[in-house]
Structure 1
Amino acid sequence: MTKPHASASLDRLLAGFLQCGTWAACALTGAGLIFGTKALTAGVALFILLPVLRVVLMFGVFARQRNVLYAAITATVLAVIVAGCVIGVHLGPLAD
């Protein structure tokens, strides 16, 4: 089980990460409105990727803490995300 101070530290790390990521995505989206669609696309993509990057960050923190249970749970979540992406690409509108 995680210690209370470790949980608070993880919460602060995740909050800072998501805040910086959201500001970066907003800046890219705003730049896209001024300069063109590539920056706009990058901003929207960053908004979409932020939750996935959060799970990756959590996996890294749990692995570093040697918290096997939570690392396994986050690895399972990542595997489900990857499987969903692969299935979506093969069965979705971009499929051959």
Structure 2
Amino acid sequence: MEFVRFTVAESDVDTFLARRQEAIGEVKSAHPELWSVPLCSLREDGTWIDVWIYTSKQAADAANADVENLPRFRAMVELLDNLEIEATDMPEQAKSDI
């Protein structure tokens, strides 16, 4: 799992959200090991958190290494400031179907 924290200029929020949808589709098409991108949320402090879940750390690493071939993803990222990514491992037993 990747927990991505960032800020977006208020004037760019609608553009960011539209580009995010395009980026998700592009990454999923190029890297089918992208399992889910279940939420993107604006926090009270003005930062955003976005969660990207891959089937494995290797799959996430492969997608991140391929960023130069993902123009829609890059177009989304160009709107982000103060970007921080925290990669974590989710044990299989922690997965829930609800």
Q: Which bin holds the TM-score, normalised by the shorter protein? A: 0.3 to 0.5
Larger strand percent? 2
* Larger RCO, structures 1/2 (Cα 8 Å, 6+ apart): 2
Greater CA radius of gyration, 1 or 2?
1
Larger helix percent? 1
Q: Using structure 2 for the length normalisation, give the TM-score.
A: 0.33
Q: Using structure 1 for the length normalisation, give the TM-score.
A: 0.34
